[in-house]
Chain A
């Protein structure tokens, strides 16, 4: 696993989410990227029911990524993270008297997966309770694990199909400066998806976005 950047792509004015996604696909194909199947990332939110302290308890996020299909990636907002196997989902069912699933909060991003030389690109439609809420683009440069060394290259590549709306270096990396990207798990990626999902959750529902 290399360096990954996840960003939100604004829906083109006058177009639907679906049309914007198709436009991105077309641009990637024109570049010479090859479609390699599909992907998904999802996130369930839990909150502690046994809150003893005065301040509100932190939310617990249980995420899955099709890139690591047998793992559950569990995160606290800005807190420790845990990579566990899929049985963690079963454990959360057992824990339901202590951690309640915020049902309406399930977010997922699904879409196509493209390969372009050392780049892996995933264009996903972000849905919440079956309505399309936005577009996510994940770009992974698999040939390097040091963000500082390949960020400019990634940025240039992203500009080639995203145009000017290229994000800054993800904060998960800027806080680590030249530090090595943790190669064994995809926690940095999941942290970025989590950030994107919470941003999208707070947004107003896009007019005319409907079910895919």
Chain B
């Protein structure tokens, strides 16, 4: 195999800056079925995917400033699949008229040595949870409806307890920085889900 031409070489040095556009909401357990029904009608006509993931949130504390947060996720349904490592930046303050929360996002697929490796880098696991639910797609839009549970015994994903009586609903798009038209598409999609679920721009800092 020849060394690939420059155009298909992996991007190095962070030249492509991907942003996550996000709207969040929740539904009570008893309303789940009607929401799923509506989503099946609105979204791309493919079999909705179910998932069961275990997410570990790691912190790296520096001498000053906020800790650096990384999220490591593995699929419980497909234990041989690669781990998913995710960095999420601070939400952009920017334009108030923008309809969605916008934050920097780096997704990395990684081998199964990830937890050991993060420990060696100095990261420490802060908390973990299990997310089970369904994914829907409509073009670039992604809708994730999931139930979050906490692990009663650290590291044991069989013994969990639901965090609430609701399902978390997230509508997100990954796009290069500056493509603010996607937030318009998200808003009109979110409108179509009313009144089953109200998807809003939620600032995570407000909840801390």
- A contacts, CB < 8 Å to B: 36-40, 48-50, 52, 57-58, 60, 64, 66-67, 69-70, 72, 74, 76, 79-91, 93-95, 97-99, 113, 185
Give the residues in chain A near B114, CB-CB below 8 Å: 82
Given contacts A50-B60, A50-B122, A66-B4, contact A91 B106 (CB under 8 A): yes
Cα distance A190–B34 in the bound complex, in angstroms = 52
User: A94 and B12: CB pair below 8 A?
Assistant: no
Among residues of B, the one whose C-beta sits closest to the C-beta of A84 is B110
Given contacts A48-B122, A60-B121, A95-B68, contact A67 B14 (CB under 8 A): no
Cα distance A94–B113 in the bound complex, in angstroms = 21
User: B108 and A91: CB pair below 8 A?
Assistant: yes
**What are 17 of the A-B contact pairs (CB < 8 Å)?**
A48-B121, A50-B62, A66-B3, A67-B1, A69-B3, A69-B10, A72-B10, A79-B120, A81-B117, A82-B117, A83-B111, A84-B110, A86-B10, A87-B107, A90-B16, A94-B89, A113-B1
Q: How many A-B residue pairs have CB under 8 A?
A: 105
Among residues of A, the one whose C-beta sits closest to the C-beta of B107 is A87
User: A80 and B85: CB pair below 8 A?
Assistant: no
| From B2, B11, B61, B109, contact of A90 by CB (8 A) | B11
| From A70, A82, A83, contact of B10 by CB (8 A) | A70
User: A76 and B120: CB pair below 8 A?
Assistant: yes
Give the residues in chain A near B3, CB-CB below 8 Å: 37-40, 66, 69
The secondary structure that dominates the A interface is mixed
B9 within 8 A of A: yes
User: B110 and A94: CB pair below 8 A?
Assistant: no
Among residues of A, the one whose C-beta sits closest to the C-beta of B10 is A86
Given contacts A50-B61, A67-B1, contact A82 B110 (CB under 8 A): yes
Give the residues in chain A near B116, CB-CB below 8 Å: 80
Cα distance A74–B109 in the bound complex, in angstroms = 13
Among residues of A, the one whose C-beta sits closest to the C-beta of B111 is A83
The 3 tightest CB contacts between A and B, nearest first, are A37-B2, A86-B10, A93-B14
- B contacts, CB < 8 Å to A: 1-4, 8-14, 16, 60-63, 65, 68, 85, 87, 89, 104, 106-111, 113-114, 116-117, 120-122
Q: Tell me how far the C-beta of B86 lies from the nearest C-beta in chain A, rounded to whole angstroms.
A: 9
Among residues of A, the one whose C-beta sits closest to the C-beta of B3 is A66
Cα distance A174–B163 in the bound complex, in angstroms = 50
User: B14 and A94: CB pair below 8 A?
Assistant: yes
Cα distance A81–B11 in the bound complex, in angstroms = 21
User: A89 and B2: CB pair below 8 A?
Assistant: no
Given contacts A38-B2, A89-B10, contact A80 B108 (CB under 8 A): no
| From B61, B63, B87, contact of A91 by CB (8 A) | B87
Cα distance A50–B65 in the bound complex, in angstroms = 12
Cα distance A44–B6 in the bound complex, in angstroms = 19
User: B111 and A82: CB pair below 8 A?
Assistant: yes
Cα distance A79–B116 in the bound complex, in angstroms = 9
Cα distance A76–B16 in the bound complex, in angstroms = 27
User: A98 and B85: CB pair below 8 A?
Assistant: no
Give the residues in chain A near B113, CB-CB below 8 Å: 80-83
Given contacts A37-B2, A39-B3, A88-B108, contact A80 B63 (CB under 8 A): no
User: B117 and A80: CB pair below 8 A?
Assistant: yes
User: B4 and A87: CB pair below 8 A?
Assistant: no
Cα distance A37–B1 in the bound complex, in angstroms = 7
Among residues of A, the one whose C-beta sits closest to the C-beta of B123 is A98
| From A74, A80, A86, A98, contact of B122 by CB (8 A) | A98
Give the residues in chain B near A90, CB-CB below 8 Å: 11, 13-14, 16, 106, 108
Cα distance A91–B69 in the bound complex, in angstroms = 12
Given contacts A37-B1, A38-B2, A81-B113, contact A98 B10 (CB under 8 A): no
User: A89 and B117: CB pair below 8 A?
Assistant: no
Cα distance A95–B62 in the bound complex, in angstroms = 11
Cα distance A145–B122 in the bound complex, in angstroms = 34
User: A74 and B117: CB pair below 8 A?
Assistant: yes
